[in-house]
Structure 1
Amino acid sequence: MPRGTQIINGTEYVFETDPKWNAEKKYGTHTRTYIGKMVNGVFVPSKRYQLQCALEHAQASRPGPVPITTCSRRFCGATALFDGIGAKLGITDDLKACFPQSWKQMLSIAYFLILEDRNPLSRFPRWAASHRHPFGKTIPSQRSSELFGSIEEDAKQHFFRLQARRRMETEYLAYDTTSISSYCTMIKQVRYGRNKDHEQLPQINLALVYGESSQLPVYYRKLPGNINDVSTVKRLLADLAFLSFDKVKLVMDRGFYSEDTINALFQQHSKFLIAAQKSLRLVNVVLDEVRDQMRTRAHYQSNFKLYTYSRTVNWAYRETKKRSGVVETGERRLYLHLYYNDQKALDDRAAFNALLDTLEAELRAGSRNPEHEKLYQRYYEVAETPVRGVTLTPRQETIDEVEKNYGYFALLSNDIKDPIKALVIYRSKDLIEKAFGNLKERLNMRRTSVSSEENLEGKLFVQFVALMYLSYINKVMNEQGLYKHYTLHELLDELDVIECFEQPGHTAGIGEITQKQKNLYSAFGVAVPS
């Protein structure tokens, strides 16, 4: 239920409100129940509220069947898979610990988001009527909004900490951001910025951390829509320290590269792997020296169809001490890994020539594009006479300078010496792109239309929980080779036809389960429903 505070005689009391609609008198009422008070910014529950929570928790966790009062026939195969995954990953237990009154509703909405691809929450009652799910009852749109608004930041952070304890501290954490368009400009962090989906809408940004070996999301944070990627890294390091990730290892793309970022990572004794621009002096000097040498058989990696070269380089470290303001300088060791891919070079050169074709066509037709003026000047000398018309002379040295780096890319690390190991870990970052795809498409987060900060924060959290299930399903399907026979949608549909029958005075029964369906449960390490 929604919470609020009220100051009485100098003491800040916390209460819960229970809104109700009076159908006869045609107006809404609400009842306040005081559940504790705030002491130095910390919620201290009353003894009565503590006893109530303990009784509700004991009742929820009491073993044995729940009495059945009506006949029902609902689908349970896919939700049974989710139940097993939630127990396996500790999601269910951690939600119970952090949200003792609302964990069932949160799980039911997460299940709905996974199964009802792209459908809005207004269809939840229809889905709930035909499916067995943790809450067991319908959740109208108004109640789901109240649920989202009741999800508190402290409980969310506690959930992240509990999940962090279940993960390996030795794995690399992929970090990236994405933009989410919004129709509501009343939310404070909605801003116009560089929309990564190229939509002409204001946006918020979402930062996501993903485990490289567990292949599961670890943490997320909402950011203002006009924030740049580089400025988020220091805040991320502080957040991960709060979540008790003592040995942080980050893998990031070149959008996060800056001198301040590298210095901050060194300062926090964090391990990192980051892509770097070829124009960076630290990279370009070495690349010019070994460009021809590395494209030889001795440096060719057959399994990856590319050439590699590695070297240790020195990083000019700088740190400004907070208290004294003294600037500390020195050198730190970095491993520079260079790669060359023939196919990427061909693709880049073809794309570049297509751009030059467009520029030449615009110049000859006299239809210059204002956005291309700098490109015209950079790549061509343009002359025009009444007799010969427009004459174009390509600036070949400039064009050669651009093309010479096609096919090359660079990675920097203070931890990984081997170039192939670094490449494998960096490519695992693709998982986070798939996660963003799942969030925006299957979990219906491409555009948000919630009207308050609290509802947005709560909805993002439930969608994050759903993403944990989707990520684990994707991981198992890859490891077990299930994508050879099923898409994600087909696998869930294969299980979702299993029915559960409930009748008063009888134990609930499960419909027929085929061997194919049993094999799927086995692949996920989940017990067959019984």
Structure 2
Amino acid sequence: MANKDKKFILRKDMGNGVFYVYERTYTYDPKSKNNKTKDRLLYKEVNGVRQETRRRRTREEILEAERLSGISAERKRTGSKEILDHIAEKSGIDDAVYAAFGNEIDDAKKCISMARYLVCSGGNSFPGIKVWMMTHAVPYTQSVLTKDTCKALMDKIGLHYDIVEKYFKERIKWCKCSLVIAYDSTTEATDSTREDNARYGFNKDRDGRRTIKALYLYSMEDHQPIAFSREPGNLSDAASVMKAVKQLEALGVKVCELVMDNGYYSFDNVGELLYHRFNVTILVKTGLNWVKDAIDDHYSEFGKPSTYCCCDDKENLMSGVTVKLKLPFHHICEHSDRRTGAKKGEPIEFEKEVYLHLYRNETLRKAKLEKLISDVKDIMQTISETHTLDVLDERSKELARQCLVITADKECNVTAEGMNDDGIEKLHRYDGFMAILSDSDGDSRSVLRKYRSREHIEDNMWIKKSCCDGSTPRSWYDYAHNGRLFIQFLAMGYYDCLYEILGKMRGKINSTIADFDKAEVPSAERKLWRNLKSWMHNNSLNDILQYFDVYETSRVSTEIRRKIWTTGYTERDKLFLKLLKEYTAPAD
């Protein structure tokens, strides 16, 4: 009598909430005297929900399907995208863009793609974005952007300015609690007659064209731009300070410290900032009378070993003295003040203790004195040869009168008897001085370091013009220019974050190579790290992006299978990306 097959239901746990249900059949084989097992997949359960499964195809069926099916393939450059994805995760830029656009996810992806185009292309204009998107992997994949769709999006952003302000708000939230903000501006020259804000004024490019001024607020602790605004090019920098105060207050910033250069200084500006309870660190012109008086009162203290505060970033020896002052300020009421009884337009007088940090650049002062003495000697030589002052230009004549002892005979022949030490000392007295006004107590070294750190915003202005197509507005109307500035603003954020991370990577590489001397490390590893150090030293940020931009990912799909492969990386490239991921990993 033949043995009947025995069947059982078997549930196999895959460990992720998925169960595969099989029908297992045992059949007795009289020849081998063993049971043979055969499993048939019935269905699968995902979180308790039954899902039907299809039968696995045979080899003959697979070959026939591949013969009849079509093939789809694409090849995209993904090397720069991998780097920018890490930067976006570290800086929070993409998250802020999505939050600013709300439900308009496609527009947010378009903005991010346009900003990445500026970064990866080195600042090419938007007419080239169509071909670039066809060859690069970007967040927006629904269609290919053209210059017309880019223009339409920038017009929309400019007309709906709440999107921009929401983005600023998100960047403020991302920044650290204690905000130290640098404030600076740049100009864009244009020939357009339709731009109302384009006016003749200060032009940093000095090309004689009308300009539009773009002003930026920059978080010095986070190394990120956090807000921008624009105004006519004929307005002074000092006139825009209160605009920055109102912009920060609108973004919910109640306490922060503004660090500015002397272009924004005016006594009224300092008073308004202090009245609104903003901390101030601002460079002051040493030609002001009250600053000169402070220098004269403490002149003997400079040059002493106890006053040498530090060697700054430019390797100049500095001596510093801090002077505590109590100065009278006033605030012009915008509305009636019940607390003081002042009416609209009336001033409110108040006094505030401030600190004037005076510095003398000993290296620069010595160089200027040597240059002055050399010029005076040349003038003496000229006078001894010509016996007249008429051959000298106006500056040389003034130097001769101040720095030389000059006599004339009856025939009006001029002779330089020697140098006038008192005149040279008077002319040289204020050379090499700089003054920083601050309302917070601090030693001269920390205040100087803080002010020096703001100079990175100057690099930010260069990035905007050279790497983000920001040297000219390329817009006919102000609302379109606002949208264009927003896209450039995103690109500047990418650049600044990558700039900071590359600096940290260079420090890590230098420390690792220094540790090689203390430990036994294989020669191949030593060579790899030194090769990476040399490569990063010899290539700029744009060069690094262009280098990785050529790496491609290919995808080939048929009805049966899908294959993906990428361009191979060298060991140096792998080490670079490994370090990049370490410094772009989100904090715990």
TM exceeding 0.5: yes
Residue 456 of structure 2 is aligned to residue 413 of structure 1: no
* CA distance, structure 2, for counterparts of residue 378 and residue 479 of structure 1: 54
Q: Which residue of 180, 184, 188 corresponds with 1:176? A: 184
C-alpha deviation, 1:181, in angstroms: 0.8
Q: Name the SS for the 2:167 alignment partner.
A: helix
1:241/1:77 CA distance change after superposition, 3 Å: same
CA drift of 1:69 comes to 8.2
* Inter-partner Cα distance in structure 2 for 1:266 and 1:69: 69
Q: 1:327 deviation in Å?
A: 3.6
**8 A contact 1:211–1:218 mirrored in 2:** yes
* Cα drift, residue 365 of structure 1: 6.9
Give 2:164's aligned residue.
156
Where 1:415 maps in the other structure, the secondary structure is coil
Matched, 1:510 2:576: no
The yes-or-no answer on 1:318 pairing with 2:318 is no
Distance in structure 2 (CA, Å) of the matches to 1:374 and 1:329: 47
Shift of 1:70: 3.7
Q: In the alignment, is residue 433 of structure 1 matched against residue 445 of structure 2?
A: no
In structure 2, the CA distance between the partners of 1:376 and 1:301, relative to structure 1 (3 Å rule), is closer
The corresponding residue for 1:107 is 112
Alpha-carbon separation, structure 2, partners of 1:392 and 1:106: 70
Tell me, in whole angstroms, the C-alpha distance in 1 between the residues paired with 2:398 and 2:252: 49
Call closer, same or farther: CA 1:298–1:368 in 2, change over 3 Å.
closer
SS at match of 2:140: coil
- Counterpart in 2 of 1:275? 283
Could you say if the C-alpha distance between residues 189 and 377 of structure 1 is closer, same or farther in structure 2, counting changes exceeding 3 Å? farther
Counterpart CA distance in 2 for 1:234 and 1:314 is 23
Residue equivalent to 1:119: 124
Report if the CA contact (8 A) 1:183-1:449 is conserved: no
Name the TM-score, length of structure 1 as normaliser: 0.78
The 5 A counterparts of 1:441-520 are 441-481=466-506, 483-484=536-537, 486-505=539-558, 506=562, 508-520=564-576
Pair 354,499 (structure 1): closer, same or farther in 2 beyond 3 Å: farther
CA spacing shift, 1:293–1:121, aligned 2, 3 Å: same
Select which of 211, 219, 239 maps to 1:231: 239
Q: Find the residue that maps to 2:497 and give its secondary structure.
A: helix
CA positional deviation for 1:109:
1.6
Distance in 2 between residues matched to 1:499 and 1:98, nearest whole Å: 32
Aligned to 1:198: 206
Is residue 521 from structure 1 mapped to residue 577 from structure 2 by the alignment? Answer: yes
* Equivalent AA in structure 1 for residue 149 of structure 2: R
- CA distance in structure 2 between the aligned counterparts of 1:92 and 1:220, rounded to whole angstroms: 18
CA contact (8 A) 1:314 1:331 kept: yes
> Which stretch shows the higher mean deviation, 492-501 or 147-156?
492-501
Separation in 2, partners of 1:200, 1:500: 48
Q: Report deviation, 1:498.
A: 1.8
8 Å CA contact retained: 2:332, 2:347: yes
Q: For 1:320-359, what aligned pairs fall within 5 Å after superposition?
A: 320-321=332-333, 322-323=335-336, 324-325=342-343, 326-349=346-369
TM-score, normalization: structure 2? Answer: 0.70
Q: Distance in 2 between matches of 1:133 and 1:385?
A: 83
CA distance in 2, matches of 1:249, 1:239: 14
Change (3 A) 1:71 1:420: same
1:169–1:390 Cα change, 3 Å = farther
Q: Deviations over 1:237-271 (max 9, x none)?
A: 11001112221211011111111111111111111
Q: What's the offset of the Cα at 1:119?
A: 2.4
Q: How does 1:69-148 map to 2 (within 5 A)?
A: 70-99=72-101, 100=104, 101-136=106-141, 137-148=143-154
- Structure 1, unmatched stretches of 5+, are 1-67
1:437 and 1:212 map into 2 onto residues whose CA distance is 17
Aligned in 2, Cα 1:283/1:527: closer, same or farther, shift over 3 Å? closer
Residues 216-227 of structure 1 mapped to structure 2, 5 A cutoff: 216-227=224-235
Superposition deviation, residue 419 in structure 1: 1.0
Please say if residues 81 and 526 of structure 1, whose CA atoms lie closer than 8 Å, have aligned partners that are also in contact: no
Q: CA RMSD in A?
A: 3.4
CA-to-aligned-CA distance 1:385-431 (integer Å, 9 cap, x gap):
99758999999877643421111111111114111111111001111
Relative to structure 1, the CA distance from residue 207 to residue 357 in structure 2 (aligned partners, 3 Å threshold; closer, same or farther) is farther
**C-alpha distance in structure 2 between counterparts of 1:222 and 1:356, whole Å:** 47
Q: Relative to 1, partners in 2 of residues 1:192 and 1:518: Cα closer, same or farther, differing over 3 Å? A: same
Which is greater in Rg? 2
CA distance in 2, matches of 1:473, 1:332: 41
For these two proteins, the number of residue pairs brought into alignment is: 459
The answer as to whether partners of 2:403 and 2:423 remain within 8 angstroms in 1 is no
Q: Which runs of 5+ in 2 are unaligned?
A: 1-69, 337-341, 383-387, 507-532
Q: Tell me: CA distance 1:387–1:133, structure 2 relative to 1, closer, same or farther (3 Å).
A: farther
Distance in 2 (alpha carbons) for counterparts of 1:196 and 1:376 = 30
Task: State the shift of 1:366 in Å.
Answer: 6.6
1:308 and 2:324 aligned: no
Secondary structure (helix, strand or coil) at the match of 2:283 reads strand
CA change 1:397–1:316 in 2 (3 A) is: farther
Q: CA deviation at 1:226?
A: 0.4
Query: SS where residue 547 of structure 2 aligns?
Result: helix
